[in-house]
Amino acid sequence: MIAFLSRWAITTAALAIAAQLIDGIWFEGATRGSAEVEDKIVDLVIVALISCAITAFVKPVLTILSIPFILVTLGLFLIVINALLLRFTAWLADGVGLGFHVDGFWPAVWGSIIISVTTWFLDAMVGVEDE
């Protein structure tokens, strides 16, 4: 349970960093009611939960189905998979009115790289282990 909560917090931080650094990724908060900072943080935490769920359930299936492409591209196709999953996260978050947007494929690619590096770094700092 601690590992899940740590990954959730790390993903929240990684999404916030990607939204700050990449022009095509932004978080405007929920479209319902006010846009208070506390509401934006809660909505960002919910977007991170959506991202964690997609990473846990959808990514393994896509990775297994994409093994030939991953092998041919020497692993670079994983960046494409991560970008598509980031776009999917934004699509789901927008569908429920959370106000997280990824505007195009290239911002998704750069965002997924930033999220991967940030997650890797924070995992190493915190010492999150798989259960």
Cβ atoms < 10 Å from Cβ of 87: 20
Q: What's the pLDDT score for residue 107? A: 97
Q: Sorting pLDDT into bands at 50, 70 and 90, what band is 129?
A: low
pLDDT, mean over the chain: 91
| 4-55: pLDDT as tens digits | 899 999 999 999 999 999 999 998 876 555 556 677 888 899 999 999 999 9
C-alpha span between 51 and 12 (Å, rounded): 9
C-alpha span between 114 and 63 (Å, rounded): 20
Q: What's the pLDDT score for residue 126? A: 87
Name, in order, each residue with C-beta under 8 angstroms of 44's C-beta and a sequence gap of 6 or more.
12, 15, 16, 27, 100
Rounded average pLDDT over 62-77: 97
Q: What's the pLDDT score for residue 106? A: 97
Q: What's the pLDDT score for residue 33? A: 54
Q: What residue spans define the domains of the chain?
A: 2-126
Q: Sorting pLDDT into bands at 50, 70 and 90, what band is 118?
A: very high
Q: What's the pLDDT score for residue 2? A: 82
pTM: 0.89
Q: Are 48 and 98 in contact (CB under 8 A)?
A: no
Fill in the DSSP letter of residue 99: -
**Interior angle at CA 23, CA 38 and CA 108, nearest 5:** 95
Side-chain-side CA neighbours of 46 within 13 Å: the count stands at 18
